[in-house]
């Protein structure tokens, strides 16, 4: 049985560096992100990333809230970040 979700639970922010870098125009692995939910600030590389074929879900390492969602669509990459107060490059 395919087990994509379980296999990818332990990925970190480096897993979405390419997609986020293209969207933000910065090296996001060295960027700092602030969590709306708990206020935790950390480098993107230390976030938790849950990869699935539907998209990548970037979660706060401190409280597990969703920071950023990346969806690869046929018409381009959609990046939404309602859980991030800001991303600083």
Partner 1 sequence: MGVVTRGFGGRRPDPDRELPPGQFLTQDFPVLSAGPTPNVDEAHWQLEIHAETGEVHRWSWEQFLALPAQDVTTDIHCVTHWTKLGTTWRGVSLDTLFEDVETSADFVMAHSYGGYTTNLPLQDLLDGQAWVAFEFEGEPLDPVHGGPARLLVPHLYFWKSAKWLHGLVMQDDDEPGFWERNGYHLYGDPWLEQRYS
Distance, in Å, from the CA atom of 60 to the CA atom of 84, rounded to the nearest integer, reads 9
Question: Residues 13, 55, 84, 87: which binds partner 1 (CB under 8 A)?
Answer: 55
Burial class of 24 by CB neighbour count within 10 A (0 to 12, 13 to 18, 19+): middle
Q: 9 vs 27, which CB is nearer to partner 1?
A: 9
80 binds partner 1 (CB under 8 A): yes
Angle at 10 between CA 37 and CA 81, to 5 degrees: 35
Which range in 11-19, 23-31, 38-46, 54-62 contacts partner 1 by CB under 8 A?
54-62
23 binds partner 1 (CB under 8 A): no
Q: 25 vs 75, which CB is nearer to partner 1?
A: 75
């Amino acid at each position: 049985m395919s087990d994509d979700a379980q296999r990818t639970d332990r990925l970190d922010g480096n897993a979405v560096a390419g997609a986020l870098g293209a969207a933000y125009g910065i090296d996001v692995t060295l960027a700092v992100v602030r969590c709306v939910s708990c206020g935790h600030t950390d480098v993107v590389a230390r976030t938790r990333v849950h990869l699935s074929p539907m998209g990548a879900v970037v979660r706060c390492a401190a409280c597990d809230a969703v920071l950023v969602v990346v969806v690869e669509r046929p018409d381009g990459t959609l990046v939404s970040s309602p859980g991030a107060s800001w991303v600083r490059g």
